[in-house]
């Protein structure tokens, strides 16, 4: 059974899945514990200010109580998030890059259209964009080829004029 090489579209899709997973998996709710503790202290102090008969705080009782209620709601939300135990899905694994054999490279080069030489180009096998290794063309490779590029990642070879 021949080796299955992932296509450039499959590699790009998997890289996008990995980036999306890393963006969403931030390690839980980091603000929940400090938010719950600070919210509890602020809410408690606001309630103490409202119920104590220290003059002249009576004009501020209603706005202070409203603020205490909103703080209590935020505190309860932070407490629920603090004790939540999210189970994120497993991180997607990068696709395995299967090295190309010499026979596969010769078959692919035979079917390849003439391609102009570029100093830096995209590997047709894995999408690696770098300055790939260059060697001279041999007699069993396309006659129009001046150089043969070799990708260090997937060992794919392709001809350039």
Q: The dihedral of CA 116, 112, 147, 95: what is its sign?
A: positive
Q: What is the pTM of this model?
A: 0.54
Rounded alpha-carbon distances, angstroms, from residue 136 to 103, 148, 151: 18, 6, 15
Using omega within 30 degrees of 0 as the cis cutoff, is the peptide bond preceding 56 cis?
A: yes
Q: What is the pLDDT of residues 71-106, one digit of tens each?
A: 999 999 999 888 887 777 888 998 888 888 999 989
Low-confidence ranges of the chain (pLDDT < 50): 1
Question: CA-to-CA distance for 161 and 159, rounded, in angstroms?
Answer: 7
* Contact between residue 94 and residue 14 where contact means Cβ atoms under 8 Å apart: yes
Q: Structure tokens of 63?
A: 């706005």
Question: What's the pLDDT score for residue 95?
Answer: 85
Domain ranges of the chain: 26-83, 99-160
| Structure token digits, residue 21 | 């997973």
């Amino acid at each position: 059974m021949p080796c299955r090489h992932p296509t450039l579209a499959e590699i790009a899709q998997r890289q996008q899945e990995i980036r999306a997973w890393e963006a969403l998996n931030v390690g839980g709710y980091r603000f929940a514990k400090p938010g719950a503790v600070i919210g509890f202290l602020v809410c408690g102090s606001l309630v103490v200010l409202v119920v104590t008969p220290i003059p002249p705080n009576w004009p501020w009782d209603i706005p202070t109580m409203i603020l205490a209620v909103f703080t209590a709601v935020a505190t309860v939300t932070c407490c629920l998030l603090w004790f939540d135990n999210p189970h994120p899905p497993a991180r997607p694994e990068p696709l395995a890059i299967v090295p190309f054999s010499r026979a596969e490279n010769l078959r692919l080069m035979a079917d390849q259209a003439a391609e102009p030489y570029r100093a830096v180009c995209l590997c047709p096998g894995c999408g690696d964009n770098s300055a790939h290794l260059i060697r001279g063309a041999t007699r069993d490779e396309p006659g129009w080829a001046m150089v043969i590029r070799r990708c260090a990642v997937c060992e794919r070879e392709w001809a350039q004029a």
